[in-house]
Structure 1
């Protein structure tokens, strides 16, 4: 076997082994290891593959000029090209959802709707067709973006959007572990982004000990502070247009890791999030109009 590996090439064997192990981790191991493996497939492999392609092309040319065998280098080139093809995932040319199903992950949580008014699900659900910006990432696999009529108006005035300045109510009983509302709101549809999350609240839920994240809140409107305990229906803040956002909306998602202890927001494992106390399915899909029960 060692002889076969030598004949095939150590580098080729190592590259193939890495790819296989990463996909096994993503498809069957899951957890934080799966999340990291997915990010490696999307960001590290295309770069490594691209560098390997250039190196092998150069070596093939040099060997050809010297009339030396190039078969092994051709094999390495094809394998490197396979690694580079993962850039199709990175660029969403192949919009593949992070491959894990809601029923296979625990704990899931069912929470109250965060608004008292009728709301529209801008993005939500389990598939790329219903939740494209989120399902591609392990941390936001079951995230939602919520809006209200009118929305998608094209206006640069946030007051032309129905959800602007609406009260955000606590969906759960839990402890506020972080509260931030110092960031200015930006005009809708502009690129004046100051951060990814904008103004935010992080809650650690009593029921599961996992975390609920709410982003893009309005400057100077967060009504709670770190250490406060909240219950369903308590006022948390108001919807704004802070952070990486094209128009006023509320982003909400559930994850296993404490967001204060992760090196970056995407380095976390997202968990299923369902809603109760509405007139629709527990996991409402894109375009669903949600009417909450009167609290």
Structure 2
């Protein structure tokens, strides 16, 4: 039934079904395996038939199997076609300098860390040179402290910048998303999420109306992040009302006013119009 929800129903039902398949059932399967090993040993000692125990053991192994997808040992994209995911939005570029797509696009090759989860199915991680350099100092990364501009007109539904910036490569965070600004899009009523901003840098507050081009904060390294970058994605559900960040329906996100494709992919070098004029 969960697989039916994922493949044929999609939406928020698919998102919950995917989370259960990848995170909850494997835990139950592990418990089931240990219980059945104990029962198998008990049956052998008592010299009783153990066919049912063997069947249960195999079924619990099947429950554990999706953990291989959670760990990306088996790379499996969240199964929804971009044509079926609506509405999409087209937004302005949120940075005013040459940018590189760290992760982005519709394929597992270009966007592995995002496309395996429904909420971030078409998310982007944006960086600038130098990046992926292994330094433990945030200041060594090109995108650090760069201004972030609202990519679209809408209302700020959440703004937070109280999370400290962590050292690259560490895991000393409280919120997965770190410092952030969430915008309800005027055009569609959907939500745009911008994460990992710098502590004390956010210039907007909940309830503010923003227009495309307004400064909303600066790039930091807060939350669950390997190095300074801007994470941005588009989803249907209000992120302040979901039970967990992954329990949402991600939606396509395109850009205008840049060179190249409207949906750029990993490795693309983006030059916004502001630099071309």
Structure 2 residue corresponding to 1:107, chosen from 87, 90, 108: 87
Structure 1 residue corresponding to 2:62, chosen from 68, 79, 82: 82
Distance, in Å, in 1 between the alignment partners of 2:24 and 2:121 is: 20
**CA RMSD, aligned part only?**
1.4
**Which residue in the other structure is 2:172 paired with?**
192
How far off is 1:192 after superposition?
2.6
Q: Deviations over 1:173-228 (max 9, x none)?
A: 10011111122212223333232111100000000000000011111211111111
How far off is 1:63 after superposition?
2.8
**Which residue in the other structure is 1:14 paired with?**
none
Between structure 1 and structure 2, the one with the greater Rg is 1
Q: How many residue pairs end up in the alignment?
A: 275
Distance, in Å, in 2 between the alignment partners of 1:25 and 1:242 is: 34
Compared CA separation, residues 187 and 68, structure 1 to 2 (3 A): closer
SS in 2 for 1:248: coil
TM-score (norm. length: structure 1) = 0.89
Alignment of 1:1-295 (within 5 A): 21-294=1-274
Compared CA separation, residues 72 and 115, structure 1 to 2 (3 A): same
Report the more deviating stretch, 201-210 or 225-234. Answer: 225-234
Distance, in Å, in 2 between the alignment partners of 1:80 and 1:192 is: 34
SS in 1 for 2:273: coil
Report the more deviating stretch, 33-42 or 79-88. Answer: 79-88
SS in 2 for 1:106: coil
Distance, in Å, in 2 between the alignment partners of 1:83 and 1:268 is: 23
SS in 1 for 2:135: coil
Distance, in Å, in 1 between the alignment partners of 2:41 and 2:184 is: 58
Distance, in Å, in 1 between the alignment partners of 2:10 and 2:205 is: 33
SS in 2 for 1:237: strand
Compared CA separation, residues 281 and 62, structure 1 to 2 (3 A): same
Q: Deviations over 1:104-152 (max 9, x none)?
A: 1111111111112110000111122211111111111111000011111
SS in 2 for 1:202: strand
Structure 2 regions of 5+ residues with no counterpart?
none
TM-score (norm. length: structure 2) = 0.95
Query: Structure 1 stretches (4+) deviating beyond 4 angstroms?
Result: none
Structure with a larger share of its residues in helix: 1
SS in 1 for 2:33: helix
How far off is 1:31 after superposition?
0.7
